[in-house]
Every structure is written in structure tokens, then in C-alpha cells.
Structure 1
Amino acid sequence: FKDWGKHCPKWPSCKIFKLGIETPEIFAQKITKLLTEKNIFKIYIAAPPDQATTVANFRYEIQKIDAKFEVLVGTDAEKLLEARRSLLFPNCSFLKKHFNNIFSITEQEICFHSKLFIRADQSTWSGNIRQERIAWAAQNSTSENLELSKVLDLKLD
């Protein structure tokens, strides 16, 4: 479980993790239903790098449900960011050394600017983005934030 699920089984949100691992097709069905209702067909899935296989399964299941969904994931953004770094700053040791932190901040910005942000329950990373979006929306825009447990209709105790 490494990063994303490292607190299992202590946290109630582990039900979400278990659902995603064991039945990604149900996870995908609920996500695509919500997004279709909101007329959203471009998705970015942010997750810790050690969950790349799980995220790839989500992408596969979402696109299997409906090919009109464009699903981008961390590995897509990571390749683009690394290509830009290599092209523009090939010898910058700071960027090489801190690439993981820079990538995490890049993902936070992608999520911050989204029309809809579905946050992972009990994730401080997601919680920080949610708080920024709430503060920004109070003055500037109408962006929506939802908890993943509500989207998946899971009761967390």
C-alpha cells in the first residue's frame, strides 16, 4: 500500500482504497456517471507515484465505459514536465534533485485549476488543494469540490 494506503486499516477511508484496488470497474462507473452528468469529459487523476498501476487500471476502466473520456494521469504529466526540464534546463542539478517535489506542486496546480475537484478523504495533500480552491472561489470563481467517499456512495465511520 506504500503511500496512498499506508495508514490502512486505521482510517475509515480505507474502504475507498479497497474498492479502487479490488473493483476498479465500480470505481470507474461511479466517477463516469457523475462526470457525464456534469458534462465533463477530460479527467486528470493525481495519485502518489507508487499507485501508477492502480491509476492505469482506473484509466482503462473509465475509457472502457466511454471512449469520449480523455484521461490523463501522473505519468503523462511527469513525462511532459521531464521533457521540458531536459530541454530548458538540462544541467540544473536543483531541478533534478527536487523533481519529485516540483512534480507534486505541478499536480496540485492542475487540480487547483480544475472545474471539479474530487478529493481523497483524509488526504492532507487533497485537503490543502480543497482549502485553496474554497478560498479562491470565495473571491474569483465557482469551482466545485467533492469528497471521493460521496461520489462512490461509501459511508465512512
Structure 2
Amino acid sequence: MNADTILPDELVEAARRVVELNRAAGRRVAVAESCTGGLVAAALTEIAGCSDVIEAGYVTYSNEAKTAALGVRGDLIETFGAVSIAVAWAMAQGALARSGADVAVAVTGVAGPGGGSARKPVGTVVFARAEKGGDPVDVHAIRRDFGDRGRGGIRLQAALCALELLLPISGETP
């Protein structure tokens, strides 16, 4: 950590890449966060000039907030759980639709220390990426198991992964 930031250097450097490469591609980004609680948006706003890239950030920690702010259907949450590809995908689609950004990433998971289960233990995090003009059935989502490395460690790894998903794919333009 340096005096210009309150966040770990690796997180700030990842955010810097996202801002620089999306600026060069002329893309605006949005994030929908649950278990990271705004950490992805905070990392992006550590970068001077981020306003060229950031369109919006949504912290939707509760199921009700996911529904109200992002339009995630309650039956998806009831059927699959908040920590699921279906819900992460709906969060990303909702952030994209409501913000007008070119790309949106969603993150939802179990940061612990409690809340885990046999099927979704502490450290389980699900991500989804939605793109403007993209096929809504072409799901770009992943589930990661970061293990029980402590709440802060899980949130940091989740934020790094979410930032990586915001990087432009080679040859991608808005």
C-alpha cells in the first residue's frame, strides 16, 4: 500500500489496467456487487481519470436489493440461491440495462465466516459478465472456490477476479 491509496497495491494495479484498457477501447463499465460490498468500484475509483470509464456501481447485498435495484427475479433467488450463476447473470444483465454501460460484471458469494453450506462453502464466489449487444443466452459466468482464507482474503480475491473480467477481450470494441 502506498500513501495515495487505502487499498492493496495488487488491487489498485488491476483496477489501473481495467481503466486504461477500457478507456483505450472506448468502453464504459458497470459493476454489480454483493459479497465484495463495493470493493470493485472502490478500486476503480482509486484511479485518476476513472470517470472516463465508470458508468455505475451497484452494491446489492440483500436479496431484496438485488430485486429492487437490478431486477433480479425473486424466483431465481428462491430456486438457485443468491450465490448462483443464474443470479450472478441476472445481476450483470440488470446492471447493464440500468446503467447503459458497454460491459457489466456481477459478483456474489459467501465471504464468511458463516453462511456457507456443503454445496456452497465459505469462499464460493460466482461471477458473470454481460456485454451491450451480446446474446442474452450466451452466459459468460464462472464459479470459483477461493477456500476459507478469511473474509478479507475472499473479498480481495473476488474483487481481483471481477476486475479481470472487466478487461477487454482481444479485438473487442463497444
Query: What is the TM-score normalised by the length of structure 1?
Result: 0.41
More helix as a share of residues: 1
Query: What is the TM-score normalised by the length of structure 2?
Result: 0.38
Q: Larger C-alpha radius of gyration, 1 or 2?
A: 1
More strand as a share of residues: 2
